[in-house]
Amino acid sequence: MTNAERAFSASQDPVSNHRDFGFLVVPKQLRYDPAHPFHFGTWTKVAFGLGCTLIVANLYYCQPLLIQISNDFRVTYAEVSRVPTLYQAGYCVGLFFLSPLGDLVRRRQLIMILVSITTCVSIGLAVSRNIHVFQALVLLLGVANVTPQILIPFAADLAPPKHRASAVSVLQAGLMLGILLARVVAGVIGYFSSWRAVYYMAIGVQSLVLCGVYLIVPDQPPKNRDLTYFRILQTMLKYAVTEPKLIQAAFINVASVACWSNFWVTLTFLLGGPPYNYSTLIIGLFSLVGILGIFSGPLVGRLIDRLGPWLAILTATICLLLLQTIETAAGGINIAAVAIFCFGLDAFRQAQTVSLQTIVFSISEEARSRLNAVLTLSLFAGQVIGSSVGSQVFLQYGWRAASALSMAFYGWQLFVLFLRGPNCQQYTWYGYEGGFSIRRKPLLAPNTDCTPTSEAQSVFDTQNLASSPAATRGSLVAPEMRGLTSCKP
């Protein structure tokens, strides 16, 4: 290829051109360079996690402000109660139609567009004077607020395989922190000021996030240039019914989220009634106990990297079942049991989530956004089951029956987990193919023929590794050769 041809090719490739949207220059350290891959270090993980915290909070600011919003717009509680539902409905739409774009387009640009939209919509929410306009903007904000579900698969792509779970755990911790912290912050600001002040604050927060995206998020080329948008959606639906790992993870996730939702929804009834009779303020402070559990996220991620996701799910689920037993026995008698369960629920639930994501992300590197969208949609099914069924059981039969319901859900999770062993092949639906060993396996199994690519061959030649054991049949691929070989069973 001549220099003129190279120049023309670079001008046609927006990644090679180092510009966002054709005019905004990408910072030098964030430009895509296959010869020098982006280093996804600790501070970048923290920045991604903080971004998840500040963005997901948009969906939950309204919850402690509904009475104020109702009084300001002079509408009934029934009408304003639709606001949280519209947020979640919009989020589901965004998950299905927007988050799969992470597998199709440049994610840096996609994230910048979505954060720009949420910033503009927050302005509309802060100045809105009509409840119907407010509700329409709430729905739009929910649709566009799926940036965390693009950042999490992006982090899985950027992180080295041996540190992938720890990277995802930091972002997942940020996500959970945003859900719990948003209610506290909005409640405090709303108490001392007004609900509009919360959304004015959100404008500033989203503007700060947008600046952070420009300065921190690296530029990467599209992963599937040969696919169209509708083909992306079609393959996402196909994965949802043909991938045993994904289906197993989704069934476990539904039950896990149902337990989490059941507890937090019925906690108000438990603490507000006898024998505790706590005020709304004290009940709200129990969210802070859950936040302490969330900060165990980085440790959880390192344990998953060391143990493997299947064993991590088993361990976390057994621990949750034991904690739920304590809650069932003493939750309505001793407040210490409730506090311990608050902490353990968020800590071990996070371990389950990160492990499930690690398993799902291993299915296909090129489809992580679509796979994550399916797994996250299962979360909403769990929320509906946990909040609706759990509330009905609590109101009709009491706190102990509601807690026993969660114990049944944990039993279901163990049943689904044991249907499929830790070493099954990708398309094995059930059984213990490969044995029950829970030790982590190397990246490349023995008895594999590996043919070096042209790039790998040059590494062999320059390092005189052609005759080493790492290049022979039945051996593991040397660390410096991973990703540079073409392998077949």
HEC assignment per residue over 102-144: HHCCCHHHHHHHHHHHHHHHHHHHHHCCCHHHHHHHHHHHHHH
Q: Which of 105, 111, 98, 173 is nearest to 143 (CA)?
A: 98
Q: Is the same domain home to 183 and 144?
A: yes
pLDDT digits (tens, 9 = 90+) for 65-124: 888 898 899 988 778 878 888 888 899 899 899 999 999 999 999 999 999 999 999 999
Domain membership of residue 73 as a residue range: 34-226
Assess if residue 296 is contained within a domain. Answer: yes
Q: What angle do CA 69, 74, 75 make, to 5 degrees?
A: 80
| Same domain as 471, residue 406 | no
Ranges assigned E (strand) in 303-454:
449-452
- Residue 29 inside a domain? The answer is no
Angle at 289 between CA 285 and CA 295, to 5 degrees: 135
Res 424: pLDDT: 85
Q: Which CATH number do you get for residue 351?
A: 1.20.1250.20
Number of domains in the chain: 3
Q: Which two tokens stand for residue 452?
A: 């070096």
Q: Examine the domain organization and report whether 59 and 179 are in the same domain.
A: yes
Is 328 in the same domain as 204?
A: no
Cβ neighbours, 10 Å, residue 474: 9
Q: Are residues 323 and 194 part of one domain?
A: no
116 with 201, same domain?
yes
The reply to whether 338 falls in a domain is yes
Looking at 175, 205, 226, the residue that finishes a domain is 226
Q: Where are the alpha helices (DSSP H) in 40-104?
A: 42-56, 66-73, 77-80, 82-97
Confirm if 369 and 224 have CB atoms less than 8 A apart. Answer: no
Same structural domain for residues 463 and 423? Answer: no
The answer to the question of residue 235 being in a domain is no
Residues 88 and 214 grouped into a single domain:
yes
* 386 in a structural domain: yes
Indicate whether 314 belongs to any domain.
yes
Backbone angle region of 290, left / alpha / beta, with phi > 0 → left and psi within -120 to 50 → alpha: alpha
Q: Tell me what pLDDT residue 233 has.
A: 93
Quote the pLDDT of residue 460.
Answer: 38
C-alpha to C-alpha distance for 475 and 469, rounded to whole angstroms: 6
252 lies in a domain?
no
User: Do 185 and 326 lie in a common domain?
Assistant: no
Using DSSP, state whether 218 is helix, strand or coil: coil
Give the C-alpha separation, 275 to 270, whole Å: 9
pLDDT of residue 163: 81
Q: Write down which residue in 202, 226, 250 finishes a domain.
A: 226
SS3 label, residue 19: strand
Task: Give the pLDDT of residue 143.
Answer: 95
Task: State residue 148's pLDDT score.
Answer: 94
Are 312 and 351 in contact, with CB atoms under 8 Å apart? Answer: yes
Residue 24's SS3 state is strand
394 and 361 belong to one structural domain: yes
Q: Return the bridge partners of 112, or none.
A: none
Whether residues 458 and 341 share a domain: the answer is no
SS3 453: coil
pLDDT < 50: residue spans in the chain:
1-12, 441-489
Q: pLDDT value at position 258? A: 92
Reported residue count of the chain is 489
Q: What are phi and psi of 32, to 5 degrees?
A: -75, 125
- Determine the Cα–Cα distance for residues 357 and 368; give it in Å rounded to an integer: 9
The pLDDT of residue 226 is: 87
* pLDDT, position 184: 81
Same domain, 298 and 430: yes
In a domain, 245, yes or no: no
